Amino acid sequence: MDTPLWQLKKQMAQIGHRIWQKGFCAGNEGNHSVRISEDRVLCTPTGISKGFLEADDMCIVDMDGNQVEPNPKGRKRTSEVLVHLAVYKKRPDVKAVIHSHPPHATAFAIAQIPLPEGIHPEAEVFLGKVRTAPYATPSKPELPDSIIPLIGPETNTVLMANHGSLSFSFDLTDTYYKLEILDAYCRVLLLTKQLGSVKQLDQKQMTDLLEVKKNFGLPDERLSCAPTGCVGSENQPFLASFPVNPTTASCDCDGGVTSTSEGNFEAMVQAITDQIVTSMGR
Ligand SMILES: [Zn+2]
């Protein structure tokens, strides 16, 4: 029984336990899969908590989602396997997919606030740019249709509006790490929000970080726009929600926010000086 396929099924059950223990899925939520060949995918069954999964609960489907081998326990494949299959078809390099409802990341998906960029090295290197797909009804064909256009060659994580997350990578363990890093990052962002202050990496820090990422064998298209471009300039609602303070000022590069900006700080000092001078002259 200890075949490579059985080992993979056991690993899927173990990852399910981790997902459940971390509180990423309540009840029977969530699903994950592994691509085992050109036209076969191993996936979790429908209607079972990820915390109770056993190796022989896993189902095997073809690339159209048809269950091609009877499950020994009579399990039926997850209805969301069509989302997984769409990812595998778009990205042949992807070998594992996890759909989950990690609470901190799902909060951002529900608020429909894009994840900010240039905040945390771990998130930048291991997740990169994370986009949010428009809301689509679960289990309907609209769901994969909403997500697939957002998946580029470097994408490994997509948020699903008002729903949850989709993580994918070259194996199941790495895919699980993406999920953990995503929720840890979102949790840190929410804690930062409570503290009331945020500092974004400046262009040089971000460029250096993306260079390191490149040296890890992880290219990032945003490196090509640094240092002149403003990394994540279109993803600013989270950063813009903080009160402005002297160390968090708008930069002049397309509406982004930088940690410090000498020019802006001087301009602010000048503006205050002008106000004082004006009021003294009254
Ligand atoms: Zn879901």
Residue 65 has what DSSP assignment? S
CATH code where residue 83 lies: 3.40.225.10
DSSP code per residue over 104-166: HHHHHHHHTPPPPSSS-HHHHHHT-S-EEEPP--TTSTHHHHHHGGG--TT--EEEETTTEEE
Tell me the CA–centroid distance for residue 222 and ligand 1, in Å.
30
Whether residues 191 and 215 fall in one domain? no
How far apart CA 127 and CA 114 sit, in angstroms, is: 14
Whether residues 120 and 247 fall in one domain? no
Tell me the CA–centroid distance for residue 261 and ligand 1, in Å.
42
Tell me the CA–centroid distance for residue 163 and ligand 1, in Å.
6
The pLDDT assigned to 222 comes to 87
Whether residues 165 and 207 fall in one domain? no
Of the listed ranges 8-12, 80-84, 212-216, 275-279, the least confidently predicted one is 275-279
User: Which carries the bigger pLDDT value, residue 133 or residue 259?
Assistant: 133
CA distances from 224 to 70, 210, 214, 256 (A): 49, 10, 11, 17
Whether residues 44 and 160 fall in one domain? yes
Tell me the CA–centroid distance for residue 33 and ligand 1, in Å.
14
How far apart CA 191 and CA 99 sit, in angstroms, is: 24
Whether residues 83 and 184 fall in one domain? yes
The pLDDT assigned to 245 comes to 45
CA 126 to centroid of chain Cα atoms? 10
Tell me the CA–centroid distance for residue 188 and ligand 1, in Å.
23
The pLDDT assigned to 274 comes to 59
Structure token digits, residue 61? 């489907």
Q: Among 167, 195, 223, which residue terminates a domain?
A: 195
The pLDDT assigned to 256 comes to 35
Tell me the CA–centroid distance for residue 27 and ligand 1, in Å.
11
Residues 6+ apart with CB under 8 A from 184: 104, 122
Count other Cβ atoms within 10 Å, centred on residue 63.
15
Checking phi first, is residue 232 left (phi over 0); if not, alpha (psi -120 to 50) or beta? left
CA 188 to centroid of chain Cα atoms? 14
Mean per-residue pLDDT for 103-122?
96
Answer whether residue 231 shows pLDDT above 50: yes
Answer whether residue 251 shows pLDDT above 50: no
Q: Among 195, 219, 234, which residue terminates a domain?
A: 195
Whether residues 228 and 260 fall in one domain? yes
User: Which carries the bigger pLDDT value, residue 78 or residue 269?
Assistant: 78
What domain range includes position 251? 203-280
Whether residues 215 and 190 fall in one domain? no
Whether residues 148 and 110 fall in one domain? yes
Whether residues 161 and 269 fall in one domain? no
Whether residues 144 and 269 fall in one domain? no
Answer whether residue 218 shows pLDDT above 90: yes
Q: Among 195, 215, 239, which residue terminates a domain?
A: 195
Most confident of 21-35, 198-212, 231-245: 21-35
List the beta bridge partners of residue 97: 33, 168
Mean per-residue pLDDT for 131-152?
95
Reported confidence tier of residue 268, pLDDT bands at 50, 70, 90: very low
Q: What is the pTM of this model?
A: 0.84
Which residue's structure tokens are 């336990």?
A: 17
Whether residues 210 and 108 fall in one domain? no
Q: Please write the tens of the pLDDT for every residue from 158-193.
A: 999 999 999 999 999 999 999 999 999 999 999 999
How far apart CA 142 and CA 136 sit, in angstroms, is: 6
Listing from the earlier edge strand, what are the strands of the sheet with 131-133?
59-61, 40-43, 31-37, 96-100, 164-169, 157-160, 131-133
Tell me the CA–centroid distance for residue 22 and ligand 1, in Å.
16
Using only C-alpha atoms, what is the Rg of the chain?
A: 22
How many folded domains does the chain comprise? Answer: 2
How far apart CA 146 and CA 277 sit, in angstroms, is: 56
Whether residues 149 and 215 fall in one domain? no
Tell me the CA–centroid distance for residue 30 and ligand 1, in Å.
5
